[in-house]
């Protein structure tokens, strides 16, 4: 499998405001597992996904074959330095240990390299 092939048993799609509840739950599960408290809300996620200037191509979901969202990658570019990209990857704790965080970060890195190369 190349770094950008979707892992077997999963599919990838873009996130939308309709995913806000699911994304807040995913991010909160990760944060509770890592630091002991939730981090976001559905309203905050909806606002983030629909913020002016937001590029919907930069929010990617990794979905299991059963329809469960197991991963989320969000990417943003620094407007003052277009070659500086920021990535956040989240994988539900129940799916840890399968290399999914690594895959999401490699996907983000590949997309950032392509965007910087195209600029």
Check: pTM over 0.85? Answer yes or no.
yes
Q: Which domains does the chain have, with CATH numbers?
A: 10-118 (3.40.630.30)
Rounded CA-CA distance 25/27 in Å is 6
Which class for 114: exposed (0-12), middle (13-18), buried (19 or more C-beta within 10 A)?
Answer: exposed
Q: 35-39, 50-54, 81-85, 86-90: lowest mean pLDDT where? A: 81-85
E strands within 1-116? 10-14, 59-64, 69-78, 81-91
Whether 118 shows a pLDDT value over 80: the answer reads no
Provide the β-strand partners of residue 60: 14, 73
Q: Averaged over 29-52, what is the pLDDT?
A: 95
Q: Stretch 21-42: mean pLDDT, rounded?
A: 97
Strands 59-64 and 69-78: antiparallel
Looking at residue 1, what is its pLDDT?
A: 41
Q: Which DSSP symbol is given to 86?
A: E
Residue 95 pLDDT: 95
Overall average pLDDT of the 51-58 stretch: 81
pLDDT tops 80 at residue 2? no
Contact partners, residue 33, CB within 8 Å, separation at least 6: 93
**Residue 92: φ, ψ to 5°:** -55, 135
- 1-5, 14-18, 23-27, 86-90 — which one is most confidently predicted on average? 23-27
Q: For the residues 43-61, what does the mean pLDDT come to?
A: 87
């Amino acid at each position: 499998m190349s770094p950008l092939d979707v892992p077997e048993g999963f599919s990838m799609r873009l996130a939308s405001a309709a995913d806000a509840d699911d994304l807040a739950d995913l991010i909160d599960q990760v944060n509770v597992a890592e630091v002991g408290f939730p981090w976001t809300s559905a309203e905050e996620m909806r606002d983030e996904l629909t913020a002016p200037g937001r590029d919907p191509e930069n929010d990617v979901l990794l979905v299991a074959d059963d329809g469960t969202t197991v991963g989320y990658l969000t990417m943003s570019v620094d407007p003052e330095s277009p070659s500086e990209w920021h990535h956040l990857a989240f994988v539900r704790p129940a799916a840890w240990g399968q290399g999914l965080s690594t895959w999401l970060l490699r996907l983000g890195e590949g997309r950032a390299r392509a965007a910087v190369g195209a600029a």
